[in-house]
Structure 1
Amino acid sequence: MARRMTTEDWIVSSVNYALLAVITLITLYPFYYLIIVSFNSGQDTLLGGIYFWPRDFTLENYQAFFSDSKWVKAFGISVLRTVVGGAAGVFFTCLVAYGLSYKDLLFKKLYFVLVIIAMYFSGGLIPYYVLLRELHLINTFWVYVIPSLLNIFFLLIAVSFFREIPKELHESAKIDGANDLSIFFRIIIPVSMPLIATMGLFIGVGQWNSWLDSAYFVQSENLRTLTYRMMEIINQSNISQEAAAFGRGSSSVTSFSIQVTAMVIAVAPIMCVYPFLQKYFVKGMMLGSVKE
């Protein structure tokens, strides 16, 4: 039988819902503001006073964005590095973690010592640049992918997750003649979807948002990422020249309107992907938190 709510319960619930509504508004309104500004005339936006809907609705900001080849190329590079880098990072991290999860692995303590050292210490930017140069990764697409193949944070989580998988699954598969790779692909991967989805979400978002590697290790304009282009336009000192370049003669497109449009386009893919991974993401957040 449900307990009847008292006056105090009503007051507490009302305060909680009011606070949640305020927090939700504060959280969502900035992104909503970017959306309405991206659909508003750039020159009209400079006048201010836009709060809830576009005052001078236009699609010229998006037309200017997609008509500029460097923005389109940057968007394609960001998508490609997110898909390739995210998938490769998840696969390689899981593969290494699966090997480290074996209790009878030779030199296992040494491997974990190296992992911990790599987690807390780095050689610095200049040695890192020299290493990438010696590997012939500078100014190539693979500089976005290969250095991020192993995510040490998720490596430790994956090792803990794989250790909790019942040994009987391994033993029964080996009795049937399966080798370690067959066990990994046919048994471990299917039962590790919460882990893989969580890793894919975080690693993919990291790849999508990264811009430092594009600034430091890439010189070709054809390999610039979307986030680098956004930082580039934010740091422009001469807004009038940038507006003329993006507007292509249009009087309604400004540097700020293109910048906001780029932000909306950069955030939209992540928001579209997240709902499909949410059920796995919630499970994945609990990985390693409960031990039997």
Structure 2
Amino acid sequence: MSATTVVNQDTEHRTVRPPKGHERTMGDRVFSLVNGFVFLILVILCAYPFYYLIINSISANDISALGDVRLFPKGIHFENFVQVFQLKGLTTAAAVSVARTVLGTLATVLASAFLGFMFTQDRMWGRRFWYRFVVITMYFSAGLIPMFIIMKNLGLTNNFWVYVIPFVVQPFFIVLVKTYVEGMPRELQEAAEVDGAGTLRTFFVIYLPNMTPILATVAIFAAVTQWNSFQDTLIYITDQSLYTLQYLLYMFINQANSLAIAAQNAGGNLGAIADAASQQTPTSIRMTVSVIVILPIIFIYPLFQRYFVKGIMLGAVKG
């Protein structure tokens, strides 16, 4: 037998055998099973509180008030939502929350994208100083009273823009975008500059369209922060027309008893069903308003989910 035949037979033998390390052992199967079971439990633990709110908000109020609704809704009705939407100021607060979330998220995303890009430009004057100056604000803040004085001197108290302007520059988002931009091919900018593009045109035409994963990640973080924020309303706002939905939720929870009576009276005036199952209770107020507040932000996640993991990983790890 020739050496060539032996080599060919040996090559065929090696190609037929499965690659080493790819065989699934019994330990691998057990690990996958246990791993899947643990994550299933975690998913249930995370999802159940939201499910609990929803089933209690659509269950008979007298049963829900006794705490007897745990797994499935009982005496399903939607009168709670009809009556809660008649509470004073809820529609205005929802409009304010939507406006601050949309405008605040757009401003934060655009500022983070531009500053993250500029901090990678060697031609930027004092680039290292300004980058460190922005990052250091992640660790130090002036405090509540100085911030209130600043906002008051700037005329932002009882002003809608107090919801937007202080959130525009977010150091953490800028760091994510900067790291992401540094991982993009430098040849993109060099080719644009050869064609005569300036810094702004390079950013808006070349880089911005290619930042979708990291910008979607920033958008999720910014939108959730804006939607859930209520402390700025508590500190800076006394005008009721500028109250946010989250702040009203905070007030509703603290005043659930009186609001339940008000909702019952409003329902009676409008000819609503006046039995024990549909009359508002403190529990039904809390559950229904909580559902109204959390549902919109929950629907945002599926829209950006495909970008989220890729964006946060590529923006957080260099190289």
TM-score using structure 2 length: 0.84
CA distance in 1 between partners of 2:254 and 2:260 (Å)? 13
- The answer for unaligned runs of 5 or more in structure 2 is 1-17, 269-273
Q: Is the 8 A contact 1:154 1:199 kept in 2?
A: yes
CA distance in 2 between partners of 1:141 and 1:56 (Å)? 41
> Per the alignment, do residues 31 and 196 of structure 1 end up closer, same or farther by CA in structure 2, a change over 3 Å counting?
same
How far did residue 240 of structure 1 move? 3.2
Q: Is the 8 A contact 1:65 1:72 kept in 2?
A: no
Deviations 1:191-230 (A, max 9, x none): 1001100000001100000000011101111111111111
Matching residue of 1:265:
292
Name the Cα RMSD after superposition.
Answer: 2.0
Write out aligned runs for 1:187-202 (5 A).
Answer: 187-202=206-221
How far did residue 289 of structure 1 move? 4.5
How far did residue 59 of structure 1 move? 0.9
> Per the alignment, do residues 103 and 128 of structure 1 end up closer, same or farther by CA in structure 2, a change over 3 Å counting?
same
Tell me the matched-pair count.
289
How far did residue 3 of structure 1 move? 4.1
Q: Is 1:177 matched with 2:196?
A: yes
Aligned partner of residue 286 in structure 1, secondary structure:
helix
Q: Is the 8 A contact 2:107 2:168 kept in 1?
A: yes
How far did residue 5 of structure 1 move? 5.5
How far did residue 21 of structure 1 move? 3.0
Matching residue of 1:242:
259
CA distance in 2 between partners of 1:134 and 1:160 (Å)? 36
Q: Is the 8 A contact 2:214 2:315 kept in 1?
A: no
Matching residue of 1:256:
283
Q: Letter of the 2:245 partner, please give it.
A: L
How far did residue 150 of structure 1 move? 0.4
How far did residue 138 of structure 1 move? 0.7
Q: Is 1:119 matched with 2:138?
A: yes
Deviations 1:41-90 (A, max 9, x none): 22231122212222121111100122224111111111111001001111
Q: Is the 8 A contact 2:119 2:178 kept in 1?
A: yes
Picking from 118, 122, 125, the partner of 1:106 is 125
Percent identity between the aligned chains?
A: 36
> Per the alignment, do residues 18 and 162 of structure 1 end up closer, same or farther by CA in structure 2, a change over 3 Å counting?
closer
Q: Is the 8 A contact 1:246 1:255 kept in 2?
A: no
Deviations 1:231-262 (A, max 9, x none): 112223xx432211233245521232122112
Higher mean C-alpha displacement, 18-27 vs 256-265: 18-27
Q: Is 1:285 matched with 2:308?
A: no
Picking from 29, 39, 61, the partner of 1:42 is 61
Q: Is 1:58 matched with 2:63?
A: no
> Per the alignment, do residues 87 and 288 of structure 1 end up closer, same or farther by CA in structure 2, a change over 3 Å counting?
closer
How far did residue 92 of structure 1 move? 1.3
CA distance in 1 between partners of 2:294 and 2:59 (Å)? 18
How far did residue 18 of structure 1 move? 3.3
CA distance in 2 between partners of 1:16 and 1:162 (Å)? 35
Q: Is the 8 A contact 1:86 1:204 kept in 2?
A: yes
Matching residue of 2:41:
22
CA distance in 2 between partners of 1:172 and 1:13 (Å)? 47
How far did residue 9 of structure 1 move? 5.2
CA distance in 2 between partners of 1:99 and 1:9 (Å)? 47
